Structure 1
Amino acid sequence: MLRRHGLFWLKTCPRLNVLQRQCVPISHLLDNRIGCQQRWYAKGRRRSLDSKKEMKPLNFSIPNYISVNKLANLLNCRVEKLIKDLTALGFQNITTTYILSKEYVELILQEYNFALPSLSTSTNIDNVYEELKSPVNPKLLTKRPPVVTIMGHVDHGKTTIVDYLRKSSVVAQEHGGITQHIGAFQIITPKSGKKITFLDTPGHAAFLKMRERGANITDIIVLVVSVEDSVMPQTLEAIKHAKKSGNELIIAITKIDRIPRPKEREKKIEKVINDLIVQDIAVEKIGGDVQVIPISAKTGENMDLLEESIVLLSEVMDIRAENSPRTIVEGWIIESQVKKQVGNVATVLVKKGTLQKGKILICGNTFCKIKNLIDDKGTPISKATPSYATEVLGWKDVPHVGDEVIQVKSEAIAKKFISKRQDLVEVQKNSSIVERLNEERALAKEHHAIEEKNEGLQKEDAAPDRDQNILPKNINYIIKCDVSGSAEAVSESISSLGNDEVRCNVISSSVGIPTESDLKMAQITDSVILCFNLGKLPSEVINNRAGIEVKQYNVIYKLIEDVTETLTENLKPIFEKKVISTVDIRESFDFKLKKKVIKIAGCKVNNGSIKKNSLVQVVRGPNDDVIFDGALSTLKHNKDDVAEVSKGHECGITFEDGFEGFEPGDRILVYENVKVPRYL
């Protein structure tokens, strides 16, 4: 019998009635934990550390986290013995302050023959709401419209297809000519009169998560490929999502109206099909079941054929869902945002059940008592059936895009499950903190041992090592967007920018116009506020008293370029020396002052010019060995101090820092430090 225990899958061995290791722990665990488990359950039997077979009663409660020395006190044993036993089990670098999780403590107690009432079970955060779902009732299954996601490379005409079918102009409303949200529309096809729900996903590389989400909640994917460009980077990415999701696929080759000559058009279409075959797409040409339809959404050519293909494929798939007043509603968040006057709004794609006013929905760490339902045209509706995308008003907080929505009976039940989920989130957060603490303590112990070993080394020998540990400079940003999907995309796009010297740090990412708390947070963290698709901002935000920089963008790649440029400007400057003139030292003169004698170099400028504030190097020999690098002290022509001496003229020079080690025959290289352009 398999069951989930902590971070491992464990099973009960019928013969020995013990826990036996089934699979390798997840990759982010510490190496000592992995080694421990491998040795603990490697032979499929339990090895007790205590020779006694009698089970000891447990007279204390097991904390979520406990250090080794405190566990030794609870077990009433010496800490040295416990560390020795843990080392024998496979733990490495165990110290008295090493922190053990509850799952490990339970297993250790079993090894010490303590009787445990029951092993604690860890619940996955994503599965907290699984018990709220109802099993599928085949008697209530009815046909529903297919959910069709249009995917492909940027500017390949995805939104134009939806515009043709809806008889609208969505593309005219997009900034920069690219879609920057997942648009959800349900249409009645002009020819067959069937309902189809379309999801129009962004094509820009920054919206990877949004496209992947669209592929995972759909029935049919229409992959749009331009006849002019063929397979492009986002096309390959869409193919990967389609294969991963296992959805049915239809290929739409667009923009055929741009190639009026039939023979040239046929040749281009053939090239696109061959490129798709290379990507392991089983098109009908090679006996597969993927339809390829050349279309022009601009002129309407073959659009009726695309419509018929989608309807026919959905009929063959026999797509059904429960649609009964008694069915618990389930769905997905397509988009979420804060709208003026109405507050928190989320677009919900209904998976099963009927969405109506007054019903209570739970999603992530928030819930909603539905105040109103709005369709894609902005019209209030009374209900939303399966495959229908509708805006839901009444959320307590803005839900996260991509989260699942489930109906509950009351607000009390919703609050109970949200609290349970938040507790698990806190446990997961604490677990990562504990792992980091253990790692830091292990590194500190190792570092301390190295310091003791090298105690006799001089401090200046260790200085270069300290320089290597300098952390990169953080450039802080606060992101504010119109919808949560865009906020996620912007955050994902810029948070990975940077290198070992400078990096982008996203302090927070949310929807809506920057608030007073956002401005205070920006002031505290020295952040720049990036506003995406928020329209005209209030003057009190732009001209805020704290002087916080607020930048506005409508196209995401311009935002990314701006952030990249800012990071580049904060890279440590690198200069290279550029020789601009050379001077020969021909004589050396001694000049007597009142109390001392100074040495003057009699020189002639070969090329360029030398100025009093010039940076110079004095070099000697055929290899130009540098014997001085610095600045001039005086520059004279005859007996007069001059600011500059040009080519062909003679001059007298003294150097800063009292350098007098020059000789006749040496050369002076006049140089300037030129800043070298740097890039991330």
Structure 2
Amino acid sequence: MFYLRRAIAPNVYGKFTCRIPRSPVIPNNIQRFYAKKSSKLNKKPVSLKPVTFTIPNYTSVSNLSNLLNVRIEKLVRDLTRLGFSDVSHNYILSREYIELILQEYNYEIDDRVSTLTWENVYAELKSAVNPKNLERRPPIVTIMGHVDHGKTTILDYLRKTAVVAQESGGITQHIGAFQIETPVSGRKITFLDTPGHSAFLKMRQRGATITDIVVLVVSAEDSLMPQTLEAIKHVRASGNELIIAITKIDKISKRERDKAIDRVNNDLLSHDISIEKVGGDVQVIPISARTGENMDLLEESIVVLSDLMDLKAENATNTVAEGFILESEVKKTVGNTATVLITKGTLQKGKVFVCGNTYCKVRSLCDEGGRAKLKALPAEPVEVLGWKELPQTGDEVIQVKSEALAKKYVAKRQALVQSEKHAGDVKKINEQRCSEALLKQRQDGGEDGDESSISEDDVKAMGPKKINFIVKGDVSGSVEAIVESILPIGNDEVVCNVVAASVGSPNENDLKMAKITNSTLLCFNLHDISNDIINNKENVEVKRHNVIYKLIEDVTEILTENLKPIYETKQVATADIREVFDFNVKRKIIKVAGCRVTNGQLTRNALLKVVRGDGEVSVFDGKLSTLKQGKEDATVVKKGNECGVTFEGFEGFEAGDKLIVYEKVKVPRFL
């Protein structure tokens, strides 16, 4: 809702406002009436109360010109002056742009609309921190580093389970969360194992954001690698405390071990990591997760650092519980499940929580081992059942009083998300209309509808070709990482377009959508896909992968195949036309070229050029129609032999012309 005031002819009778029944523009007859009264009776300007006027979320330029009673040509000029490009009568303006234009036309806007967005809609549900309820909590530790530097092996040692053997391709592809009790100190530590492959950038960013301490794993053999440097950036951005664990020291002889550790220390110093060796505060601990060497020292370092950080959280039952979604998936036996890391309060069975575009009445809680729990305290990861819809990885979880309140806030957030989606749709519509107008203008400017004059520009105006994919994965974090990895693939000719992405095995609806949109189904880490889906009658291509970099390579290959082919000509044979013969076939004179092959071999239906003179003038470019040796048809005539040939739709050859036989060779292209 807005209050609008407009100054009308201030040089005649001063500034006043008029009650506006529907439009903010004051009708001309009212203007003339008050101007006449003011000049004749010398009265003070009449002021009317401002009207409450609702600005639409979106409107076209033509509608806005009618609303403001301004000629559309003038409005377009003003919009161009304000920085708008390619504005036409059907260009759609958003609320923010409409407000800008109203201010430019001297309207005073009293914006009383809330600044609520889909990102902060749940903020008012949170409660202030009560210092009296603060209690010590376990530290949340994230293991980060480069691929195959031994991150999961460390966790394998800590919880004595074969985690590495369960990972496809030998790399971690999910965020694993669990809590252990250290054998040395008996203190609890919550560990997050984030994937190391570059495709899981967002997952690693999320791991560094919700954690307290980052254990950066660096191999003594390789030192700092690309993902290691990337992890250092995340740690600096998040402000987390850092511990360096130099792994795989068991693979290096004791004589070379000190040199390898010094190399890692020097590389850390070159990247501004202030290690304890030079008076800094970052601990560097050489360990071997396979033999257990110095693992007790790593545990002790984490506990000591957490004590110095004085980590505390509210865990009273009357405190509003909060947390984050670490992972979510659809399980056949129980439905929608999500791993939640509690950061505040106590998560209990039967409580209601909102998260993203869904909510949950907690049906059951399980720890990482699948054991049932009645409640979960801060820094404790638990698997939560009871979600109405599958939540997204990284979304915040907040407790509410009832399901009715949860539905209310979820609906409010969905409306804000839809509004933002509409804004994106409006942008696409404006771009499409601009492209269509440009194409029409070029078509009108062409001669006799000549398509060749607009073909290249048409392609540029319409944009690159979209290759559609539908992504299906085992968990939401993997789906998110896959989408983020394949979307940037492409160039000016072809781009990757994700039509849909969701968790779970593909079904009939996915097949129908893939058929309609001409999409390829990408299935990641799914082992229960039915044969009816794989060998579907719709001829939809289904790609299955367990390792993400293989999936990325497959998508790149598909896009490469859709690049516009480029051919180069390769000369394979030459022949001379020595004589021209006329033959009467069914009362029709046919001209035949008597030729001698001078190089290579002449084949039927070969592509060739007929050149004249010094070979600079091409009089024909096409295919052979017939090829004969004597009276018999021939398929191949080799070098040094004579033959008679005719051409498809061409008889203008002469004795002395040359035939240049060529073939088109496809040039390999790469993104």
- With normalisation by structure 2, the TM-score equals 0.85
Structure 2 partner of 1:189: 182
2:567 counterpart (554, 571, 575): 575
Paired residues of 1:619 and 1:626 also in contact (CA < 8 A): yes
> Residues 511-568 of structure 1, C-alpha deviation per residue, up to 9 Å, x if partnerless?
1122332232223223232221122323443344544433322111222222222222
Say yes or no: does 1:339 pair with 2:323. Answer: no
CA contact (8 A) 2:65 2:75 kept: no
Counterpart of 1:140?
133
- Determine whether 1:258 maps to 2:245: no
Hey, what's the Cα distance between the residues in 2 that align with 1:605 and 1:85?
69
Paired position in structure 1 for 2:408: 416
Q: Residue 152 of structure 1 corresponds to which residue in structure 2?
A: 145
Distance verdict in 2 for CA 1:444–1:551, change over 3 Å: closer
Corresponding residue for 1:668? 659
Task: Report if aligned partners of 2:443, 2:449 keep a CA contact under 8 Å in 1.
Answer: no
* Matches for 1:6-17 after TM superposition, within 5 Å: none
- Alignment of 1:385 with 2:372, yes or no, is no
- Does the alignment pair 1:348 with 2:326? no
Pairing partner for 1:64 from 36, 48, 57:
57
Return the offset for 1:471: 4.5
* Distance across 1 between alignment mates of 2:200 and 2:643: 66
Residue 210 of structure 1 deviates from its aligned partner by: 0.7
Deviation at 1:113, TM superposition (A): 7.4
The one-letter amino acid of 2:195's match is P
- Paired with 1:305 and 1:513, the residues of 2 have a C-alpha distance of 44
1:214 aligned to 2:207? yes
Cα distance change, pair 52–211 in 1 and its aligned pair in 2 (3 A) = farther
* Residue aligned with 1:474, SS: strand
1:486 aligned residue (475, 478, 492):
478
Aligned residue for 1:191, secondary structure, equals: coil
1:158-557 paired onto structure 2 within 5 Å: 158-260=151-253, 262-438=254-430, 454=445, 459-460=450-451, 462-464=453-455, 465-557=457-549
Q: CA deviation digits over 1:400-424, x for unaligned, max 9?
A: 1001111111111111111111121
Seen in structure 2, the aligned counterparts of structure 1 residues 625 and 447 have a Cα distance that, compared at 3 Å, is closer
Residue-by-residue CA offset, 1:428-463 (whole Å, 9 max, x unaligned): 2223334444555566667777777x4878645633
Offset, 1:296: 1.2
SS state of the match for residue 658, structure 1? Answer: coil
Could you report, residue by residue, the CA deviation over 1:372-418 in whole angstroms, capped at 9, with x for unpaired residues? 11101111112111111110111111101001111111111111111
CA contact (8 A) 1:333 1:349 kept: yes
Which residue number in structure 2 is paired with residue 18 of structure 1? Answer: none
Corresponding residue number in structure 2 for 1:39: none
Identity %: 58
| Contact kept? 2:243, 2:284, Cα under 8 Å | yes
Measure the CA separation in 1 of the matches of 2:542 and 2:419: 36
Query: Which segment is superposed worse, 488-497 or 443-452?
Result: 443-452
- Which structure 1 residue ranges, 5 or more long, are not aligned? 6-50
Report the CA distance shift for 1:455/1:414 in structure 2 as closer, same or farther (over 3 A). same
Cα 1:521–1:597 change in 2 (3 A) is: closer
2: CA distance, partners of 1:648 / 1:284 = 84
Q: What is the TM-score with the length of structure 1 in the denominator?
A: 0.84
- AA matched with 1:426: Q
Q: Is residue 635 of structure 2 the alignment partner of residue 643 of structure 1?
A: yes
In the alignment, the residues of structure 2 paired with residue 116 and residue 402 of structure 1 have an alpha-carbon distance, to the nearest angstrom, of: 38
Residue 591 (1) aligns with residue 610 (2)? no
Partner of 1:17: none
Deviation (angstroms), 1:600: 4.2
Letter in 1 for 2:209: N
1:129-165 Cα offsets, whole Å, 9 max, x none, are 1111111112221111111111111111110000001
* Cα distance in 2 for residues equivalent to 1:270 and 1:324: 48
State the 1:87 CA deviation. 5.3
1:679 maps onto 2:670 in alignment: yes
Determine the structure 2 residue equivalent to 1:34: none
Q: C-alpha deviations, 1:637-676, integer Å up to 9, x for none?
A: 3444322222232333333323333442x44332222222
Distance 1:524 1:634, change over 3 A: closer
User: Residue 563 of structure 2 aligns to a residue in which SS?
Assistant: coil
Residue 54 of structure 1 and its aligned partner are, at CA, apart by 5.0
The match for 1:119 is: 112
| Deviation per residue, 1:183-239 (Å, 9 max, x gap) | 001111121221111100111121111111111111111111212222222112111
Q: CA deviation at 1:584?
A: 3.6
Cα distance in 2, alignment partners of residues 474 and 256 from structure 1: 49
Q: Secondary structure at the match of 1:593?
A: strand
Secondary structure of the residue that 1:657 maps to in structure 2? coil
CA distance in 2, matches of 1:198, 1:156: 17
- Distance, in Å, in 1 between the alignment partners of 2:661 and 2:238 is 66
> Whole-Å Cα distance in 1 between the matches of residues 469 and 357 of structure 2?
25
Q: Distance in 2 between matches of 1:566 and 1:112?
A: 52
What per-residue deviation string (whole Å, max 9, x for no partner) do you get for residues 612-644 of structure 1?
232222345556554432222333334443222
Deviation at 1:104, TM superposition (A): 5.1
Question: Quick one: which amino acid aligns to residue 212 of structure 1?
Answer: Q
Q: 1:572 to 1:119 in 2, by over 3 A?
A: same
Q: For 1:541 and 1:240, how far apart are their aligned partners in 2?
A: 43
Deviation of 1:489 after TM superposition, in Å, equals: 1.1
Structure 1 counterpart of 2:574, which letter?
T
Distance 1:316 1:410 in 2: 39
Would the alpha carbon gap of residues 142 and 507 (structure 1) be closer, same or farther in structure 2, given more than 3 Å must change? same
> Does the 8 A contact of 1:57 with 1:114 survive in 2?
no
Contact 1:141–1:321 (CA under 8 A) maintained in structure 2: yes
| More displaced 10-residue stretch of structure 1: 525-534 or 305-314 | 525-534
Structure 1 residues 69-117: Cα deviation after superposition (integer angstroms, max 9, x where no partner): 5456556x44469838955983646666554444555566677777877
Checking the alignment, whether the CA contact within 8 Å between 1:106 and 1:119 is kept in structure 2 is no
1:539 and 1:458 mapped to 2: Cα distance? 51
Matches of 2:581 and 2:614, distance apart in 1: 27
Shift, 1:308, TM fit: 1.6
Distance in 2 (CA, whole Å) between partners of 1:107 and 1:639 is: 84
Give the Cα–Cα distance (whole angstroms) in 2 for the partners of residues 526 and 614 of structure 1: 35
Instruction: Decide whether aligned partners of structure 1 residues 299 and 71 sit closer, same or farther in structure 2, where only a CA change above 3 A counts.
Output: same
- Residues 54 and 285 (structure 1), Cα distance of their counterparts in 2 relative to 1, 3 Å cut: farther
Aligned CA distance change for structure 1 residues 571 and 189 (closer, same or farther; 3 Å) = same
Letter in 2 for 1:611: T
CA distance in 1, matches of 2:540, 2:240: 47
Against the structure 1 CA distance between its residues 565 and 467, is the aligned structure 2 distance closer, same or farther, given a 3 Å change threshold? closer
The letter for the 2-side match of 1:184 is A
CA deviation map 1:494-526 (0-9, x unaligned)? 222233333322111111122332232223223
2:417 partner letter: V
Q: Answer whether contact 2:466 2:496 (CA < 8 A) is retained.
A: yes
Secondary structure of 1:125's counterpart equals coil
Contact persistence 1:635–1:653 (CA under 8 A) = yes
Q: Which runs of 5+ in 2 are unaligned?
A: 3-43
Q: 2:608–2:661: 8 Å Cα contact kept in structure 1?
A: yes
* Gap change, CA 1:398 and 1:614, over 3 Å in 2: same
